[in-house]
Amino acid sequence: MNDLKQDIDNRIALYALISRLMMQEVDETFLNQLESDEAVLSLLPNYRDWSKRKELSRKELVDQYYNVDYVNLFIMHLVPYESFYTRDDQMIESGGDNPVLQLYNALDFRVELEKARVVSPDHIGVELEFMYMLCDAQKKALEADDAEGVCELLSVQHGFLKDHLLEWAPLFLINAKRESRTPLYHDGTELALEFLLSDFEYVTQKRKEHCDNIEAEEEAQA
């Protein structure tokens, strides 16, 4: 499980970054954290090199650029909810019948819609936060040497990416990148898209390797 231990912190950090970026408008605290990490900045090259970051204060950038762009992308012009893309009537399912909410409840993941300022639990920011929670739980299972728990969590991650996020988020992210007006959201949506696609390949591979090893060990002990 050593390779899983090396990878999990990076996955947690990336899911934390993109879920926060897409959950709500940025603030100066978030930007301070973002810009203090050169490794993260390297993932956002257009944002890192944007001349206005040197010309204007962070407050001016937040008020005049970033939050205007966020409202344009996530509230006014695009719809960041899974049910809009997957339902035939293109209605947002905010009630208890939403299959994403049922999965959250089954895994004891609670969504405070008012606090998150979203109208449905299948908002892209919440779904990315759910992946963050699953990765964090996987890290704890790794630290406890719980091989079966790791296998189960990789399976849940694989299923959620396959059946939910990758069913609709790529289309949203492609449109959001095209409509973005600032390098922050241009780079952020591109990063999210590339990471989700690569993470699905990673989880698919690690799930097969890890769970197959467990099955082989169980058969050897039988």
- The DSSP line for the chain is -HHHHHHHHHHHHHHHHHHHHHHS---HHHHHHHHT-HHHHTT-HHHHT-THHHHS-HHHHIIIIIHHHHHIIIIIS---BHHHHHSTT-----STT-HHHHHHHHTT----HHHHT-SSTTBHHHHHHHHHHHHHHHHHHHHTT-HHHHHHHHHHHHHHIIIIIHHHHHHHHHHHHHH--SHHHHHHHHHHHHHHHHHHHHHHHHHHHHHHHHHHHHHHH-
Percent share of the chain, pLDDT over 70: 94
pLDDT digits (tens, 9 = 90+) for 83-97: 999 988 888 887 777
pLDDT at 220 over 90: no
| Domains along the chain with CATH numbers | 2-221 (1.10.3480.10)
Q: At 220, phi and psi to the nearest 5? A: -65, -30
pLDDT at 58 over 80: yes
Residues 7-28, mean pLDDT to the nearest whole number: 96
pLDDT of residue 89: 85
Residues 67-90, mean pLDDT to the nearest whole number: 93
Phi/psi region, residue 191 (left: phi>0; alpha: psi -120 to 50; beta: rest), is alpha
Confidence of residue 33 (pLDDT cuts 50, 70, 90): very high
Confidence of residue 165 (pLDDT cuts 50, 70, 90): very high
Query: What is the CB neighbour count within 10 angstroms for residue 169?
Result: 24
141-147 long-range contacts (CB < 8 A, ≥24 apart) are: 142/1, 142/4, 142/5, 142/8, 145/1, 147/1, 147/210, 147/213, 147/214
The token duo for 21 is 């970026």
pLDDT of residue 194: 98
Whether the Cβ atoms of residue 124 and residue 169 lie closer than 8 Å to each other: yes
Confidence of residue 6 (pLDDT cuts 50, 70, 90): confident
The token duo for 4 is 């899983």
